[in-house]
Chains A and B, each alone.
Chain A
Amino acid sequence: MTKFMFRTFASTLAVGVGLLATQAFAKSDITIAMQLEPPHLDPTSAAAQAIDSVVYTNIFEGLTRFMGDGSVVPGLAESWEISDDGMVYTFRLRDGVTFHDGTTMDAEDVKFTLDRATAEDSANAQKALFAGIESVEVVDPLTVKVTLSEPNGNFLFNLAWGDAVIVAPDSIENIKTNPVGTGAYTFGNWVQGDSITLNRNRDYWGDQPTLETATFKFISDPTAAFAAMMAEDVDVFDNFPAPENLPQFDADPRFQVLVGTTEGETILSTNNKQPPFDDILVRQAMAHAIDRQAIIDGAMFGYGTPIGTHFAPHHPAYVDLTGESAYDPEQAKALLAEAGFENGFETTLHLPPPSYARRGGEIVAAQLAEVGITAEIINVEWAQWLESVFRGKDFGLTIVSHTEPMDIGIYARPDYYFQYESTDFQALMDTLNATTDPDERTRLLGEAQRLISTDYVNGYLFQLAKLGVAKAGVQGLWANAPTAAIDLTQISWSE
């Protein structure tokens, strides 16, 4: 009996080792974990970042695209010409590009995509990107002429967003569950609540990627994320939710940790229309009451860069304005007294689920308490946050990371949830949009950053870091996140 058991055991072991060996030699698949599952797979009709993470450049491509370093390069458009007045863009499309269903990608599809995004009833989450488009004209099957109503120096950048990917009229109906694009990977299978599988597109117009299949797995719980990574159930964790665990991965030779930048400005959003926050002195007082480094150390275990305005520090036009709101509780108390709140006041602090908000919020509340402001913490789920804070504007303070790239323009929208209304800023944005000269744009962007910083619109906390964890053999991952994307075409396994 014992002998028999031993034999069974030995043969099982042998088979196991054999399996392991084959796996090690021909590794052409990858399992990538993400924290959030996409609600559906149409990047052109929702703001959810998780959609872009799965489909951007993998399934769908735009006329231009972001690279891992944040640069914008040609995508489906091979080249383009811009008229001297900056109003007309003529795109030359790549020849021989087909959608996954076999139909050809041509100028009609581009026109369809842009018309759909600019339409009255457009469901696009970033309509502002396309707002300047006056008309789209098909010159010939491979040439499209886009006419703008006013010059827009950001236009090529805007077209690189996941919200501007090219879709086909034939497959638009089922795009949410069966996305058909032009990318190097085709949609395979979606097990709701668990994973999405993509397969390599044999007919891809560009270079064939190395990976045969890719599985995106959704693990929302930080503890489960840690366990899955440690057990090597997943190969990559796109943005690891628990920064406190990174030193352990770093010390483990099986893993690599990629710390990079994101476009996420984490801010203490302030309801500028709600008293007492309509008083600039109160907002200034709060800005001085906050110790950014303590928040970064306490909530993010040191990962993150302090910011003094709503702008990414790795961007060339960034101006370091953290000095405008340096940590100084005494000054904060003096300012509060000046505003007539010697004894402080009470407000609410809505915190969505991510740890930067929940942990950061506890620290912010404690720091505000030091100067006499009582912020009642209200933990909310994302759906509730969107409903009551973002749409309902029913909040005093909240902490959230604004992860869209170059989104300082939201301050020109008085109906945006933090309700900052400044004609100066709106005029500045209009000028900026009409300016194409790079130096002048940099100057204007600096001015815009200074304006919202000295108006203390929101509490500017830190730039969210991208914390990737991967097995040691994975190559080609984006360290930074210029946009939400997991570019599979660049990823491969080392020998």
Chain B
Amino acid sequence: MSRNLFLGTFLSSLVVLAALISFVWTPYDYSALSIPEKLQPPNVEHWFGTDHFGRDMFSMIMVGARTSIAVALVAVGIGMALGVPLGLTAAARKGSWLDEVIMRGNDLVFAFPSLVIAILITAVFGAGAINAIIAIGIFNIPVFARITRGAALSLWEREFILAARVSGKGAARISVEHILPNVANLLIVQGTIQFSLGILAEAGLSYVGLGAQPPTPSWGRMLADAQTMVSFAPHLALIPGVAIIVTVLGLNLLGDGLRDWLDPRIRVARA
């Protein structure tokens, strides 16, 4: 196991664990306001201190991890669920009008600055976690469609596909039975990267107030709320900031590590 993979797995599972534990236990009720206890720096009772409403920051970070992961996971899910079939279809029908339509459609979506459009979508259809998921998800579709098509195209040239065709299998069946398993590695790696980008996008959206709505904690909004208080309560901004860094760094390292580990070409070269 490479160092990247180890560190990435460690950091990512730390965040995932925090999110999972938050379902059953948090040190305090994350939504319980206690104004007299506001703005405490990290201490024994409140490990990450308290925010401007006296809420326990540790509990908020745990539940915030849940929000981030949920939004990013579903968004990546949308991207995969729609992008991969599109990519497979385009590859199977290479050069046909269908291929053109799918890929030019992807180019169109790709051409838009994703976060700006995500802001537009949430501003038009209303702020909230669901719309944030949809907005981020839409921009994951072309990513997966392209990756899938590119990898699938080279596979279609291979002998084992030719064998499958000779044995009478249709394009759809070949795509699912032979192409998909062979691009899965690639998709997992890309999924990890997209996942970290999704977390960043969610933080960005909730920073401008378009992500999960209060009282649901969200790292981006915690940062936004902390903005005017950085000068006298730096932990308010530092803690969610570090949480975002750790998560994104962890996922990127994990993605890198996974690629090194799973990519057959690199594996062969190493052996």
Q: Are A363 and B231 touching (Cβ within 8 A)?
A: no
Q: A297-B35, A359-B52, A376-B213 are in contact. List 11 more A-B contacts (CB 8 A).
A: A244-B52, A248-B232, A298-B52, A298-B53, A359-B53, A361-B214, A362-B214, A366-B32, A366-B215, A378-B213, A379-B214
| A223 at the B interface (CB under 8 A) | yes
Q: Which residues of A contact B4 (CB under 8 A)?
A: none
Q: Is the CB of A223 within 8 A of B228?
A: yes
Closest Cβ neighbor of B227 among chain A residues: A223
Provide the bound-state CA to CA distance between A298 and B215, in Å: 15
Pairs A–B under 8 Å by Cβ, sample size 5: A223-B227, A226-B228, A245-B231, A297-B35, A376-B213
Q: Does A372 contact B (CB under 8 A)?
A: no
| Number of chain A residues whose Cβ lies closer than 8 Å to a Cβ of chain B | 23
Q: Are B213 and A294 in contact (CB under 8 A)?
A: no
When chains A and B are docked, how far (Å) is the Cα of A362 from the Cα of B209? 14
A residues 359-392 in Cβ contact with B at 8 Å:
359, 361-363, 365-367, 369, 376-379
Does B46 touch A at the CB level, under 8 Å? no
Interface residues of chain B, those whose CB is within 8 Å of chain A, are 31-33, 35-36, 38, 52-54, 127, 209, 213-215, 227-229, 231-232
A252 to chain B, nearest CB (A): 11
Chain A's nearest CB lies how many Å from the CB of B220?
14
- Chain A residues in 8 Å Cβ range of B31: 366, 369
CB-based contact B33/A248 at 8 Å: no
CB-CB under 8 A for A298 and B32, given A222-B227, A362-B53: no
Binding site for B on A (CB under 8 A): 222-223, 226, 242, 244-245, 247-248, 294, 297-298, 359, 361-363, 365-367, 369, 376-379
Q: How far is the CA of A298 from the CA of B32 in the complex (A)?
A: 13
Task: Tell whether A365 pairs with B228 under 8 Å between CB atoms, given A244-B52, A294-B35.
Answer: no
How far, in whole Å, are A223 and B54 apart by their CA atoms in the complex? 21
Task: Indicate which residue in B33, B38, B52, B213 contacts A377 across the interface (CB closer than 8 Å).
Answer: B213
Closest to A295 in B: B35
| Chain A residue contacts of B36, Cβ below 8 A | 297
What residues on B are CB-neighbors of A369 within 8 Å?
31
Partner of B215, one of A294, A362, A378: A362
Contact count A vs B, C-beta below 8 Å: 55
Give the residues in chain A near B232, CB-CB below 8 Å.
244, 247-248
Contact of A365 among B32, B38, B214, B231 (CB under 8 A): B214
Given A378-B213, A379-B127, A363 and B53 touching (CB < 8 A)? yes
Contact B228 A222 (CB under 8 A): yes
Query: Which secondary structure dominates where chain A touches chain B?
Result: helix
Least CB distance from B55 to A in Å reads: 9
Q: A363-B33, A366-B31 are known contacts. Are A245 and B228 too (CB-CB below 8 A)?
A: yes
A185 to B35, CA, bound (A): 46
A375 nearest CB neighbor, chain B only = B215
> Contacts A298-B33, A363-B33: A379 and B52 contacting too (C-beta < 8 A)?
no
With a cutoff of 8 Å between Cβ atoms, the chain A residues found around residue B127 in the complex are 379
A309 vs chain B, min Cβ distance (A): 24
Among B35, B229, B232: residue with most chain A CB under 10 A: B35
One of A244, A247, A298 near B228 (C-beta < 8 A) = A244
Lowest 7 CB-CB distances: which A-B pairs, in order?
A: A242-B228, A298-B35, A294-B35, A366-B33, A223-B227, A297-B35, A222-B228
How far, in angstroms, from A222 to B232 measured CA to CA in the complex?
A: 15
Given A223-B227, A223-B228 in contact, is the A379-B35 Cβ separation under 8 Å?
no
B213–chain A nearest beta-carbon distance, Å: 6
B228's closest neighbor in chain A, by CB? A242
Taken together as a complex, chains A and B put the C-alpha atoms of A362 and B221 apart, in Å, by 13
Q: Which residue of B lies closest to A222 (CB)?
A: B228
Q: In the complex, which residues of chain B have a beta carbon less than 8 angstroms from the beta carbon of A363?
A: 33, 35, 53
Question: How far is A78 from B253 in the complex, measured between Cα atoms in Å?
Answer: 78
CA A365 – CA B215 in complex, angstroms? 8
In the complex, the answer to whether A379 meets B209 with C-beta atoms within 8 Å is: yes
User: Of all chain B residues, which has the CB nearest A293?
Assistant: B35
Q: Give chain A nearest CB distance to B221 CB in angstroms.
A: 10
- How far apart are the CA atoms of A128 and B33 in the complex, in Å? 42
A176 and B182 CA atoms in complex are apart in Å by 68
* Chain B residue, CB-CB nearest to A247: B232
List of B residues within 8 angstroms of A377 by Cβ: 213-215
Distance in Å from the Cβ of B236 to the closest Cβ of chain A? 10
Residue of B36, B53, B54, B127 contacting most chain A CB atoms (<10 Å): B53
Q: A248 vs B229: C-alpha distance in the bound complex, in angstroms? A: 11
Distance of A240 Cα from B19 Cα, bound (Å): 38
Which residues of chain B are within 8 angstroms of A298 by Cβ–Cβ distance? 33, 35, 38, 52-54
The listed residue with most B CB atoms (<10 A of its CB), out of A223, A362, A367, is: A362
- Name, among A245, A297, A298, the residue most crowded by chain B CB atoms within 10 Å (CB to CB): A298
Q: Are the CB atoms of A294 and B52 closer together than 8 Å?
A: no
Cα distance A131–B118 in the bound complex, in angstroms: 48
- Give which listed residue, A248, A294, A366, A367, contacts B231 with CB less than 8 A: A248
Contacts of A379 in B (CB 8 A): 127, 209, 213-214
User: A203 vs B184: C-alpha distance in the bound complex, in angstroms?
Assistant: 81
Residue on A nearest B229 in the bound complex, by CB: A244
Taking CB atoms, residues of chain A closer than 8 Å to B214 are 361-362, 365, 377, 379
Nearest CB in chain B to that of A243: its residue: B228
Report the bound CA distance from A376 to B215 in whole Å. Answer: 9
Evaluate contact between B228 and A294: CB separation under 8 angstroms: no
Q: How far is the CB of A76 from chain B (nearest CB, A)?
A: 42
Residues on B with C-beta less than 8 A from A294 are: 33, 35
